[in-house]
Amino acid sequence: MKKIILLFLFISIHIVGYNQVIKGTVSDFKDHSRINFAYIYFNGTFVGTNSDKNGYFELDISRYASMPLTISALGYYSITLTVVSSEKPLTIFLQPKLYELQEVVISEKSNDRERRKNLKLFTDNFLGTTKNAKSCVITNPNDILFVSENDTLKAFSSNPVLIDNAALGYKVTYFLDEFILDKKTESFFFSGNIIFNEDLTSEESQKSIFESRRKDAYLGSRMHFFRALWKNELDSARFVVKNSADENLTVENIVIQEDTITKYLNYPEDLGICYYSGLPSSYIIFIDEYVNFDKNGYFDPSSVSWQGEMSLKRIADWLPYEYELK
């Protein structure tokens, strides 16, 4: 009996130590009214919850304690909290999205042909142009507004962009904060946050097909690279990192470890990444000196930009952080 009691105490302590439940409320920044059905989630995962009619929420963050927490709501800009604690309730305020009326009017007056052209430019850059992108559909395209001025195209959406990915078997929601495309140079930028809503592998007939496509999307991806970097398994994962002098770099040359849940990618110049080849197929361009990443393959997207093969894999080829190679 004594052993059973001790075992129960150990299990209780273990649960308390690893179940970190945060609580809080989400409100409008201007009038402090509570926002119901706000999304509280970890960007790029299935893990999240919604606020109730009083703006209140609870969420277990223990699985992704090293990742920032994102809060989004219809008609509001998303915010990201890099540090959260379960010690006291969170009070979160969201800024309403206020688009210039003149821009919206211009976009509404554009003809159907121009809108179709803008929508294609948006989807090609947002979803990508890979094989998987061809089977990826935005189910609410009418919610997206376009403003075309000179050679610049901007896209806005007060509602989240809903995406059915028939190639990888996911349904996802993307909260678009910004999209800017320079038509002349074809350079573009978009930002926002994604939550995976549904995994469609329940049907056995489709399961093996989805798994095969997911594996192809994963291998050589940014998630694959950072997971291999975390485990110090670049060689076995078939990655080679090079500097501008074409020297091969080791993990010790480019990674700083702060603690057991966070590491930093750091190097005084941009890096070339080779995958199954002696020549770099992708390049990491440092925006910040230190790029934090974790064992799930998460990295701070605002700290780097990408060129080459890895940059071609966009929303249509993204996998949730729950994905594991089989």
Say how many C-beta atoms besides its own lie within 10 A of residue 95's C-beta.
Answer: 12
Cβ atoms of 34 and 60 within 8 Å: the answer is no
State the pLDDT at residue 238.
97
Q: What is the reported pLDDT for 99?
A: 59
Antiparallel, parallel or unpaired: β 56-60 and 21-28:
antiparallel
Tokens of 126: 């947002």
Coil, helix or strand for 177?
strand
Residue 51, amino acid: S
Paired sense of beta strands 271-275 and 282-286, if any: antiparallel
* 281 contact partners, CB below 8 Å, separation of at least 6: 220, 273, 274, 275, 308, 309, 310
Secondary structure class of 188 (helix, strand, coil): strand
pLDDT of residue 148: 86
Domain ranges of the chain: 2-94, 101-199, 219-317
Rounded CA Rg of the chain: 22
The whole-angstrom distance between residue 212's C-alpha and the CA centroid of its chain comes to 22
Strand 21-28 to 90-94 pairing: parallel
The identity of residue 325, as a single letter, is L
DSSP category for residue 299? B
Q: Which CATH code, of 3.50.50.60, 3.40.50.1220, 2.60.40.1120, 3.30.56.10, is assigned to 2-94?
A: 2.60.40.1120
* Spans in the chain with pLDDT lower than 50: 1-18, 100-102, 105, 108
Q: What is the pLDDT of residue 10?
A: 38
Q: Which of 218, 167, 164, 193 is nearest to 44 (CA)?
A: 193
